[in-house]
A = this chain, B = another copy of it.
Amino acid sequence: MSQQVFELLILGSSSASPTSERNPSAQLLNLAERYFLIDCGEATQIQLRKFKAKIQSIDHILISHLHGDHFFGLPGLLSSMHLLGRKQALTIYCPKELKPIWDLITQASDTRLNFEIKWHFNCNDGLKLLFEDDKIEVYSFPLKHRIFCTGFLFKEKPQLRNIDKWQLEKLNISFAEIHKLKKGLDAIDNDGNIIENKKVTIDPPEPRTYAYCSDTIYNEKVVDYLKNVTVLYHESTFLDDKLDRAKKTFHTTAKQAATIAKLSGSKKLLLGHFSARYGSLQDFLTEAQPIFENCELATDGKKIKI
C-alpha cells in the first residue's frame, strides 16, 4: 500500500527583508490532501501562483508570530481568496493580536468576505492540539523569540495494518473480520477458524512527523517537542560567526540548528530564514553538516517529501 502524501513546498526562505532570490517566510504543507499554509510573508500569494499551488485548497493557515516577514502577505491572500469566489471556511491559527489588525483593514476597505474565518488564538503553554481528524494531528509548541512565537508539529496518525493480499485470497472471511485484522486483532473466518493477525498482515508505514521552528533563539528546551521527528525545519538566520547578532536578535545559527536536530533525534534537517546579507547559502550546509549530516537548504520553490 502506498503512503499518503506528506509534502512540503517552500514559498519563502528569507528573514526580515526579501532578496531577489528569496521571499519572506511561507511554506505549504500537503498532509493527506489537507493543505496547511505555514506563515505568510509578503507576496506569498504570488509565490503560490508561481509554483502552481492551488490557493483555494488551503483550509488552514498557521502564523507563528507577528513580525511582518511572517504575516504581511496574509491580508492580500485572504482578499484574493474572496475575489476568486471562495465560499468554504478557513481556519487561522495565530497570535490573538492579528484579528484586530484584520478587522481594521476590512473596515477601512469596506470589505466583507464571502467565506468565514475561524480564528484560533495560539497559546504558549506547552504542546497544544490545534487540529485533528481521522488521519492527522497538528500541534503548536512554544518558541523563544523577541515576541510571542510558536512552532508547529504535524503528525500522521498510525495507519491501519496492511492485509497481505496473497494470503487474503485464500481465506473465506467477512468484511467485518478483515477490519479487525487491519486494526491489529486476530479474526475468525466463515468456517470458525482463528486467523492470526501476524500471518496475514504487514506493518503499516511508520507515522511521519514534520516540525516547524521559526523564529527562535537557540533553546534546548524545544527538543522535548521534537523527539525523533522525520523532518525538522529550523531557522538559521545567521552563520556562527554572527553568533552575537543571533543572540541579540533571538535568532539561531546554522551550527545551533544542527545541534537541535542532533539532540532531538530528527531524521532530516531543513535550514531556512536566511538573513538577506547572505548571497550564496553553501556555507550554511558546510557549517551544519559536520554536526548533523542529513541537512538541506529550504530554498524558494523546493519540494520536500517528508
Contact of A43 among B19, B43, B107, B147 (CB under 8 A): B43
Q: Please encode chain A, from 30 to 68, with 1 for each CB lying within 8 Å of some chain B CB and 0 for all others.
A: 000000000000110110011000000000000000111
Q: Which stretch (A98-106, A189-197, A257-265) binds chain B? A: A98-106
A110 x B72 contact (CB < 8 A): no
Known: A104-B101, A108-B95. A18 touches B42 (CB 8 A): no
**Identical chains in the assembly:** 2
A97 x B101 contact (CB < 8 A): no
A17, chain B: closest CB distance, angstroms:
4
Number of A residues whose C-beta is below 8 Å from B? 39
| Distance of A23 Cα from B43 Cα, bound (Å) | 10
A76 x B42 contact (CB < 8 A): yes
A301 at interface by CB-CB < 8 Å: no
A135 at interface by CB-CB < 8 Å: no
Interface residues of A in 8-37 (CB under 8 A from B): 16-20, 23-24
Complex interface: chain B residues within 8 A of A23 (CB): 46
Complex interface: chain B residues within 8 A of A109 (CB): 66-68, 147
| Nearest opposing residue in chain B for A78, CB measure | B68
Complex interface: chain B residues within 8 A of A69 (CB): 76, 79
Interface residues of A in 67-117 (CB under 8 A from B): 67-69, 72-73, 75-76, 79-80, 83-84, 95, 97-98, 100-101, 104-105, 107-111
12 contacts between A and B (CB under 8 A): A17-B45, A17-B84, A18-B46, A20-B50, A24-B76, A42-B43, A66-B105, A68-B75, A68-B111, A72-B75, A97-B107, A101-B105
List 16 additional A-B contacts (Cβ < 8 Å) besides A16-B80, A101-B104, A101-B108.
A16-B79, A18-B46, A20-B49, A20-B50, A42-B46, A42-B73, A43-B46, A67-B109, A68-B79, A68-B109, A69-B76, A72-B72, A72-B76, A97-B104, A108-B147, A109-B147
